[in-house]
Structure 1
Amino acid sequence: MSFRITGLPAEPFTDLFSLSDEALAARLAVRVVADHAHGYPCRISLTDAEPGQPLILLNYEHQPADSPFRSRYAIYIREGEQQYDEVDRVPDQLRRRLLSVRGFDGRGMLRDADVAQGTALEPLIERLFDDDHVAYLHIHMARPGCYAARVDRA
């Protein structure tokens, strides 16, 4: 089964990079600088920031469904990134992590969920999409629990 993984679109975040620290704080966001590799995953490009690269850490509503599963959490974004949007390809950022994958129906209700190493993501995507009621998947970094990407049938 073909699948499509997407990061977040860059446009809604563009203005954040020009805001003062006080204005960012009012939006529940802060400026940070990556201090080690593979610890600052950009949710737009689905790539990891290199040490020394600036990012913005913000609170983001990744599951806006009108259901008990509506959810928001902290995410990192980097300036100047392009949205990841690929079919049948898992980005390296996801491959190197333990992932929690959650399958939601069209009403935003959780149908199924499981955990897998990123190196074993495709079989889990296929298993969750075997349920015709699953409309889309959300991938989360399993340890910190933060939203990573969306998966749709291609």
Structure 2
Amino acid sequence: MTASVKFVSMPTDIARAYQAGAPDANGQVPERHISDGDGVPCRHCQQDVAAGEPYLILNYRPFPSPQPYAETGPVFLHADQCPRCPETAELPPVFAVRKLFLLKGYNAQDRIVYGTGQLVPPAEINETAAQILARQDVAYVHARSAYNNCFQCRIERA
């Protein structure tokens, strides 16, 4: 049996800072747009931004500090406050409507652990993440868009 995992979304304090206009990882103010309802997954509540609702596009670095492996990239976030997705083993809602994700492991120094990257359909994410986390050299896993490499959430041991 594989170990259990938990999904960890963008922290609320970081989301609120961006929603209040704090600069992103590029030092830019997040861009504000209106959703057409098609494929705008919020990294805080892990749900798609509904048609007609405002959202932000910003450059996010889900790492504690800059370094060669600290990837940054565009993410979406509700422009208005939304509740954070709970940290549970339950697959976040936004995963159900996507076909494929890139999972990759990182070590305690926030460096990619080579050989852990895998393209995975939603039904296999929990099991695959648990297998990656079973490695002693892996501290956590990122779930990213398989098509654009955008960060979706962090996956940790439960």
TM-score (norm 1): 0.86
User: Which ranges in structure 1 are unaligned for 5 or more consecutive residues?
Assistant: none
The runs of at least 4 consecutive aligned structure 1 residues that moved more than 4 Å come to 23-26
Retained in 2: the 8 A contact 1:2–1:87?
A: no
Q: Residue 103 of structure 1: CA displacement? A: 0.4
Q: Which has the higher strand share?
A: 1
The answer for the alignment partner of 1:10 in structure 2 is 12
Distance 1:66 1:77, change over 3 A: closer
**1:2-46 C-alpha deviation (Å, 9 max, x unpaired):** 111011122223254455xxx899625210111133x10000011
Q: How does 1:11-30 map to 2 (within 5 A)?
A: 11-19=13-21, 27-30=28-31
Answer with 63-72 or 5-14: which moved more. 63-72
The answer for the alignment partner of 1:143 in structure 2 is 147
Distance 1:16 1:70, change over 3 A: closer
Amino acid at match of 2:129: I
Q: RMSD over aligned Cα, in angstroms?
A: 2.2
Distance 1:52 1:152, change over 3 A: same
The answer for the alignment partner of 2:69 in structure 1 is 69
C-alpha distance in 2 between matches for 1:95 and 1:117: 9
**1:98-138 C-alpha deviation (Å, 9 max, x unpaired):** 10011011111212111101122112112101211110011
Amino acid at match of 1:135: A
**1:21-80 C-alpha deviation (Å, 9 max, x unpaired):** xx899625210111133x100000111111111101111112345642111101111121
Answer with 142-151 or 7-16: which moved more. 7-16
Retained in 2: the 8 A contact 1:6–1:86?
A: yes
C-alpha distance in 1 between matches for 2:34 and 2:136: 42
C-alpha distance in 2 between matches for 1:15 and 1:102: 27
Amino acid at match of 1:107: Q
Q: How does 1:23-102 map to 2 (within 5 A)?
A: 27-37=28-38, 39-64=39-64, 67-78=67-78, 79-97=80-98, 98-102=100-104
Residue identity over aligned pairs, in percent, reads 20
> In the alignment, is residue 110 of structure 1 matched against residue 112 of structure 2?
yes
